[in-house]
Amino acid sequence: MSFITPAALLSALASWGFLILTFVNLLSGFLDTRTCQTDCVRNYYFISAAFGLAAGALATFSVFRSGFTAGQVLSWLFAVSPVTIVLTIFLVGYLGTAAH
For 4-28, how does the pLDDT look when each residue is reduced to its tens digit (9 = 90+)? 888 989 999 999 999 999 988 888 8
| DSSP class of 34 | -
- The contacts of residue 67 (CB under 8 Å, 6+ apart) are none
Using one digit for the tens of pLDDT, what is the confidence trace for 63-83? Answer: 888 878 888 888 889 989 999
Instruction: Write down the pTM of the prediction.
Output: 0.84
Residue-range domain boundaries for the chain: 4-98
85: left (phi over 0), alpha (psi -120 to 50) or beta: alpha
Which span out of 3-7, 84-88, 94-98 was modeled with the highest average pLDDT? Answer: 84-88
